[in-house]
Structure 1
Amino acid sequence: MTDHHAHLLLVRHAEAERYSAACPDPGLTARGRGQSQLLADWLGKNAPDILLSSTLRRAADTARAVAERTGLPVGWDARLREVGTCRPDGQPLEGAGSGGVGLPPRERPLESVFPGAESWVHFRVRVSLAMNSVLAATAAAGGRAAVVCHGGVLDALLDNIVDADACSPVEVAWANTAVTHLEHRPRETGSPWILHSHNARPHLKDQDLDAWTEASR
Structure 2
Amino acid sequence: MTDRRPHLLLVRHAEAEHYSAACSDPGLTARGRRQSQLFADWLGKNTPDVLFSSTLRRAADTARAVAERTGLPVGWDARLREVGTCRPDGRPLEGAGLGGVGLPPRERPLESVFPGAESWVEFRVRVGLAMDRVLAATAAAGGRAAVVCHGGVLDALLDNIVDADVCSPVEVAWANTAVTHLEHRPRETGSPWVLHSHNTRPHLKDEQLDAWTEAAR
Q: Determine if the TM-score, normalized by the shorter chain, exceeds 0.5.
A: yes
Instruction: State how far apart, in whole Å, the 2-side matches of 1:136 and 1:162 are.
Output: 20
How far apart are 1:111 and its partner, in Å? 1.2
Letter in 1 for 2:182: L
Instruction: State how far apart, in whole Å, the 2-side matches of 1:118 and 1:43 are.
Output: 33
How far apart are 1:30 and its partner, in Å? 0.2
- Residues 54 and 164 of structure 1: CA distance in aligned 2, closer, same or farther (over 3 Å): same
Letter in 2 for 1:193: W
Match of 1:167 in 2: 167
Match of 2:210 in 1: none
Match of 1:71 in 2: 71
TM-score normalised per structure 2 = 0.90
Question: Is this contact kept in 1: 2:159–2:168, CA < 8 A?
Answer: no
Instruction: State how far apart, in whole Å, the 1-side matches of 2:99 and 2:30 are.
Output: 26
Alignment of 1:13-32 (within 5 A): 13-32=13-32
Match of 1:210 in 2: none
Match of 2:92 in 1: 92
Match of 1:108 in 2: 108
Say which SS state the counterpart of residue 205 (structure 2) adopts. Answer: coil
CA offset digits 1:37-66 (Å, max 9, x no partner): 000000010110001000000000000000
Instruction: State how far apart, in whole Å, the 1-side matches of 2:22 and 2:203 are.
Output: 33
Instruction: State how far apart, in whole Å, the 1-side matches of 2:101 and 2:107 are.
Output: 12
Say which SS state the counterpart of residue 153 (structure 1) adopts. Answer: helix
Letter in 2 for 1:141: A
How far apart are 1:168 and its partner, in Å? 2.7
Question: Is this contact kept in 2: 1:39–1:66, CA < 8 A?
Answer: yes
Instruction: State how far apart, in whole Å, the 1-side matches of 2:40 and 2:169 are.
Output: 31
Say which SS state the counterpart of residue 145 (structure 1) adopts. Answer: strand
Alignment of 1:65-214 (within 5 A): 65-97=65-97, 100-205=100-205
User: Does 2:37 align with 1:42?
Assistant: no
Instruction: State how far apart, in whole Å, the 1-side matches of 2:11 and 2:98 are.
Output: 25
How far apart are 1:169 and its partner, in Å? 4.0
Letter in 2 for 1:175: A
Instruction: State how far apart, in whole Å, the 2-side matches of 1:146 and 1:179 are.
Output: 9
- Residues 98 and 109 of structure 1: CA distance in aligned 2, closer, same or farther (over 3 Å): closer
When the two chains are superposed, the root-mean-square deviation of aligned CA atoms in Å is 1.3
Question: Is this contact kept in 2: 1:20–1:98, CA < 8 A?
Answer: no
Instruction: State how far apart, in whole Å, the 2-side matches of 1:99 and 1:177 are.
Output: 21
Instruction: State how far apart, in whole Å, the 2-side matches of 1:91 and 1:56 are.
Output: 13
Q: How many residues align?
A: 203
Question: Is this contact kept in 1: 2:19–2:99, CA < 8 A?
Answer: no
Letter in 2 for 1:30: A
CA offset digits 1:97-126 (Å, max 9, x no partner): 176421011111111112200000000000
Match of 1:211 in 2: none
Instruction: State how far apart, in whole Å, the 1-side matches of 2:98 and 2:42 are.
Output: 34
Which deviates the most, 19-28 or 160-169? 160-169
Instruction: State how far apart, in whole Å, the 1-side matches of 2:42 and 2:127 are.
Output: 27
Question: Gaps (5+ residues) in structure 1?
Answer: 207-217
TM-score normalised per structure 1 = 0.90
Question: Is this contact kept in 2: 1:44–1:69, CA < 8 A?
Answer: yes
